[in-house]
Amino acid sequence: MNKQVPVSLAAVALAGLMSLPAFAQSQLTVVNFGGANGNAQKKAYYEPFEKQTGSKLVTVEYNGEQAKVKAMVEAKNVTWDVVEVESPDMGRGCDEGLFEKLDYSKIVDKAALAPKAAVTECGVGIFVWSTVMAYNADKLKDAPKTWADFWDTKKYPGKRGMRKGARYNVEFALMADGVKPEDVYKVLATKEGADRAFKKLGELKPSIQWWEAGAQPPQFLVAGDVVMSTAYNGRIDAAQREGKNLRVQWVNQIYDLEYFGIVKGSPNKDNAYKFLKLVLSADHQGEYAKNIAYGPTNTQALAKLDAKTLGNLPTATGNMKGAIEFNIKFWADQGEALEKRFAAWATQ
């Protein structure tokens, strides 16, 4: 009997080892930014993926810390598979070799995706979101109509909520000062244009209440701390779904894309491709847009949405009038200098 024990143990160990690859293939770790977006992804993507494939999907929330991805890749100890990435970080991460170069034949027909920026070498655009002007309709009966109105503290007395950083604020400042949307980045690229943006921000500075997290603008508006605020449109949508009478003024919104990328060296790459294929399908993109007001990148999803849902999306025809696409290249080239200037200016 004793002689058989090692054999039995060896058999158990061998069986365990043989089952490891199968187990590894049956799971997937997806990293997102949490909040209303994370909840919408759960309903539209995660739960259906588990149901359809029988795979276990593990979710992790983060704040966009690309250093964590880099550490995993460099240590060759990758525990994340698919990561949600903001546009400036997607290009940077691709250049640094942090993400797999995508085989689109395993995901989606590129021709179905829009805008063009949805298709990149290492990341596929999963939704369009935007930074907008928002206000509380219970407290402000005469809705602001332009960024000049946002700056007009005589016509609209009270505080303004703005994100604590240069990004978006300098663009809005120039439009408030009369620069046409299509000329904003051309003007901002000059020293005179940057000076003009900061001068315009200076006019509003005494009335600004800064926000640093996306959840804050709706809170400020509901509490009456600010009369209007810049905000991420999905956060206002989430507050509206909770019964808050907040409104979005879409004029000259700045829209951007969010991406999914597969971490370089992912142990579950095949499953990651299956997941991306589901995410980019028209049915699941449509389901996502029903749960949060972010625009699908698969244009075929639009036919699956009712008029009310479509009207709340950044990509709705009426909402895109005068819209600006966030210029990734500009911010990659000049963002660091502008953010440093903003940090110094904000403390003056």
Residues 339 and 209 in one domain: yes
* CA 204/CA 260 separation, integer angstroms: 37
Which structure tokens are listed for 241? 């779904």
At 3 the pLDDT is: 36
- CA of 296: how far to CAs of 9, 124, 301, 313, in Å? 53, 12, 7, 9
Domain of residue 12 covers 4-128+257-311
Give residue-wise pLDDT tens across range 176-223.
Answer: 999 999 999 999 999 999 999 999 999 999 999 999 989 999 999 999
Same domain assignment for residues 20 and 83: yes
- Rounded distance between C-alpha atoms, residue 123 and residue 148, angstroms: 36
Q: Which residues of the chain have pLDDT under 70?
A: 1-25
CB 68 within 8 Å of CB 62: yes
pLDDT for position 35: 86
> Can you tell me whether residue 252 is helix, strand or coil?
strand
| Half-sphere CA count of 280, side-chain side, radius 13 A | 28
Q: How many domains does the chain have?
A: 2
> Is residue 275 domain-shared with residue 323, that is, in the same domain?
no
Find, among 85, 123, 20, 19, the residue nearest to 258 by Cα.
85
Residue 23: CATH number of its domain: 3.40.190.10
pLDDT of residue 5: 38
